[in-house]
Amino acid sequence: MGSAAVARTVQADPQQQFADAMRAFDAYYGTRRAVFGIDWPNRRYAEHRSWKAFLKAARRCSDNGVDVERFIEVVLGHMPKNGDSVTPNDLVSAKAWKLWDEHKNDARVDAAGRWAYFTGLVIQMQVSSGQSDEAILGTALNAQFPAWFRVLYPEALDDRIVGSWGEEALADLRADRDLVRFLRAAMAGKMEAFERKMGVIDGL
């Protein structure tokens, strides 16, 4: 076994691989929802029929020092076939990596980048602590998360989180139109539910 293979074996931490694959899953379905309006599946990660493809894509990104969320965003945005028909298995194809090499320095949408960054933090904390989304985002001890993300990341709005951070989240969103546009595209139903809960009549 060569030295590079030995290094990869030493670094192959199963928990980290799982966390990276979760990030790949969320990036794939989050981008498809934001760009093509395709609904998310349930976040039953390891039960998903394409989970092995996400594991493989995440491992290859890790081996090459590539951020898996950025990789997926680039590949879905530049595949020659319609991005809404790109499958998880396409993420590990030679074509995907050729596209990455050609477009990895393209400008990134700031709101999507922030969403991906905080998603990665949540997943890493889930894996290390075993806590739920709501437990992680519902405590002020985890001060790195902005209010808008705390409110909108969980699969369903959490009354306790909305009660604690809802007003601050509204202020965040009213000050950032690009973020609002991104979130409306990525999770229109949840945005509307949040606005109704906060008594916003005409939209943000």
Task: State pLDDT tens for residues 129-163.
Answer: 899 999 999 998 888 888 999 999 998 999 999 99
In this structure, are residues 8 and 63 in contact, taking their beta carbons and an 8 Å threshold?
yes
Could you give the angle at the alpha carbon of 18 between the alpha carbons of 16 and 24, nearest 5°?
105
* Tokens matching residue 202: 């005409």
Q: How confident is the model at residue 189 (pLDDT cuts 50, 70, 90)?
A: confident
Residue 76 pLDDT: 82
In whole angstroms, how far apart are CA 87 and each of 63, 92, 105, 144, 163? 21, 10, 23, 33, 38
Q: How much helix, strand and coil, in percent to the nearest 5, is found in the chain? A: 70, 0, 30
Q: Say which range, 14-18, 96-100, 113-117, has the weakest mean pLDDT.
A: 113-117
* Mean pLDDT of the residues in the chain: 83
Alpha-carbon distance of 1 to 51, in angstroms, equals 28
The model's pTM: 0.55
Q: Is the pLDDT of residue 66 over 60?
A: yes
What integer is the mean pLDDT of 171-185?
86
The stretch 179-189 carries a mean pLDDT of 86
Q: Are 154 and 161 in contact (CB under 8 A)?
A: yes
What residue spans define the domains of the chain?
Answer: 3-103, 131-197
With b meaning 16 or more CB within 10 Å and e meaning fewer, what string describes 169-185? bbebbeebeebbebbeb
Average pLDDT for 164-170: 93
Give the pLDDT of residue 33.
67
